[in-house]
Chain A
């Protein structure tokens, strides 16, 4: 190759880049003008933000607020992961959903994605209707610069924190229950990990959940605002400005406390100095039918182990005497003859609520598995005796 062509092609590339840059510049100048006028962000910060990939883990109240902040601010890609569908009881605080979403039982990730695309078409939105678990956390974190925590339980947060610290990705914890809000930026190499701060899976869940203590919108928005501010700093190249504290606040009896975050514990396999290869993500063998009680929701989740086709599943449920409440590409919801509600997702999970499950919490898991066998699965282990028990 002659030096002239090399130069020409280099110039060509450069002018193309300049051209793209100009378009980008013009569009972002108008769209993000007020944000770029904020000196710490500026044009360079906006450009960095525009090339970033963030995972919003859980698209409930926090997740809606977080995703909206990231999309309006002009993140490059916003990946959404949520296992649930929209219900009327979500609408008072989950700001991306409306009554139509609740009526259609639209999965939260899908409903949020539609709204977010309308808000800012320049941002790549990737909805995933999944339960975040050991099997998919690696794929969800691939290429991600930052994880914004919108989950509602400690186990998923611990899983994400472990996986983030192994990969060197900041995990921005947030939580809201009642009128309390909490947020902390846990950054590999700088702070301790979540496991070191709150203990492992063996500790009891927090006594209060949104389903028992309720939650008010402002508490959610405060936690999300604290998380989003840190995310903007990290993604716009203002990493040194990150707040190194754990905030606990209450928006009702107003209080706000800051607790300094310790550095990683030397002996921790996730945030310590120890060889990262020692850290292993938990490997749980997938049981054929595995039931999990979703904390404080009188809902039991059954993993059936394989994908389900919602429409075919709806036919089966109807044939077996269930009333179909909603069916879409992602899930089918149905009422069984014994008064339980089933929501069967395409990824093979079934959320079971009411009926025998609600009557006896101790035996709920067993009952939920029986219901799945009887109604959801293709080859039901149908048994008259069980049917009577279920009634």
Chain B
């Protein structure tokens, strides 16, 4: 089974968006375009019809080696041998679901604010949905959380999160710029005449941002050498227990809970100050501070802007 960490593009079924076209055909096209996860969302069908669809999608996803998740219904997920179940804020509590499905099945949680996501992370969710980022017809009446919540999630969460709600090739850049590296789409994919092409486009956008992240880390080796020379404090069990990571901050070893450059700047009281940030030798554009995640032994420098002339 594919690890959730390796999944970037999540596609949810929405049969009302493709009248006249079979469900399996549309979802197979999405997978061909690069979808890593397929979720069955069907709140209307009879139990028999839903089980039949779940079994068809299970067979399809197994054939292509992608994950299959069932929305809402823990029993259906078990009956169809799905890889996971996805729960909303008003569905079965996570702890109860975990007892029912055990450790082998993924549990994802829909979240609409940071407190939801942090709670889900604490309680052992495998991933969360973050949204709806934009207003969407799939969830009419729900207030959009905007990319501000995406940025918060990017700076605070350690488990994978998928930005959802109004995600399309047109909005993807904005969401990725806010810090998302995983996207979930419904109508933009399944309602399109060419679902595979839409998935390819979304996947490329994600990969471009990941490549940029990777490029920023090319010089990470130096910090490791410093550590080997015994120049820095030994990892502290207490630091690791509370999720702190070691950093080389302005040339000195430091432990931080911050997940992103932006959070670190906030921790240091530098938010809103005229400073430039540098990660592993390269300047990080201000607007990307909340999107650039820190890793152990990253070298971070905050440089005061020299303004005189």
Residues of chain A whose beta carbon lies under 8 Å from any beta carbon of chain B: 58, 60-63, 149-154, 174-178, 180-182, 192, 195-199, 202-210, 213, 215, 223, 246, 248, 257, 259-262, 265-268, 295
Contact = CB atoms under 8 A, between A and B. Distances in A.
A204 B274 contact: yes
Interface in B291-309: 301, 303-309
B274 A60 contact: no
A262 B308 contact: no
A196 B307 contact: no
B173 A209 contact: no
Given A197-B283, A259-B278, A262-B283, A176 B273 contact: no
Given A246-B276, A259-B278, A177 B283 contact: no
Contacts of A202: 272
A173 B273 CA distance: 19
Nearest to A156: B309
Interface string B195-207: 0000000000000
A265 B285 contact: yes
Given A208-B308, A268-B285, 4 more contacts: A61-B308, A176-B308, A259-B276, A259-B282
Contact of A199 (B173, B286, B306, B307): B286
A358 B18 CA distance: 71
A260 B306 contact: no
A17 B165 CA distance: 67
Contact of A182 (B278, B283, B286, B306): B306
B285 to A, nearest CB: 4
16 contacts: A61-B309, A174-B309, A177-B308, A196-B286, A197-B286, A199-B286, A206-B274, A246-B276, A248-B303, A259-B276, A259-B278, A259-B282, A259-B301, A260-B282, A261-B282, A268-B287
B78 interface: no
Contacts of A209: 307-308
Interface of B: 173-174, 177, 272-276, 278, 281-288, 301, 303-309
* Chain A to chain B: the 9 pairs with minimum beta-carbon distance, closest first: A175-B306, A177-B308, A182-B306, A152-B309, A210-B308, A260-B282, A196-B285, A206-B307, A199-B286
Given A196-B286, A199-B274, A260 B281 contact: yes
A149 B307 CA distance: 11
A287 B286 CA distance: 31
A226 B285 CA distance: 22
B305 A198 contact: yes
A208 to B, nearest CB: 8
Contact of A180 (B174, B287, B306): B306
A198 B286 contact: yes
A51 to B, nearest CB: 27
Nearest to A249: B306
Contact of B308 (A175, A204, A248, A267): A175
Given A203-B273, A206-B274, A267-B173, A151 B282 contact: no
A287 B173 CA distance: 38
A262 B301 contact: no
Nearest to B307: A206
A262 B282 CA distance: 7
Which residue, A149, A150, A203, A209, has most C-beta atoms of chain B within 10 A?
A203
Nearest to B286: A199
B281 A177 contact: no
A204 B283 contact: no
A248 B177 CA distance: 28
A22 to B, nearest CB: 41
A198 B272 CA distance: 10
Contacts of B305: 154, 175, 182, 198, 206
Which residue, B286, B308, B309, has most C-beta atoms of chain A within 10 A?
B308
B276 to A, nearest CB: 6
A175 B307 contact: yes
A207 B306 CA distance: 9
Contacts of A210: 308-309
A207 B287 CA distance: 21
Contacts of B284: 262
Contact of B309 (A151, A196, A199): A151
Contact of B304 (A149, A206, A246, A295): A206
A150 B309 CA distance: 5
Nearest to B215: A262
A56 B208 CA distance: 38
Contacts of A182: 305-306
B305 to A, nearest CB: 5
Contacts of B288: 265
A257 B274 contact: no
Contacts of B287: 196, 265, 267-268
A198 B278 CA distance: 11
A175 B303 CA distance: 13
A363 B174 CA distance: 42
A203 B276 contact: no
Nearest to A155: B307
B307 to A, nearest CB: 4
B273 A192 contact: no
A313 B287 CA distance: 47
A63 B301 contact: no
A270 B288 CA distance: 16
A295 B283 CA distance: 26
Contacts of B274: 154, 198-199, 203-206
A267 B308 CA distance: 30
A176 B306 contact: yes
A164 to B, nearest CB: 16
B272 A204 contact: yes
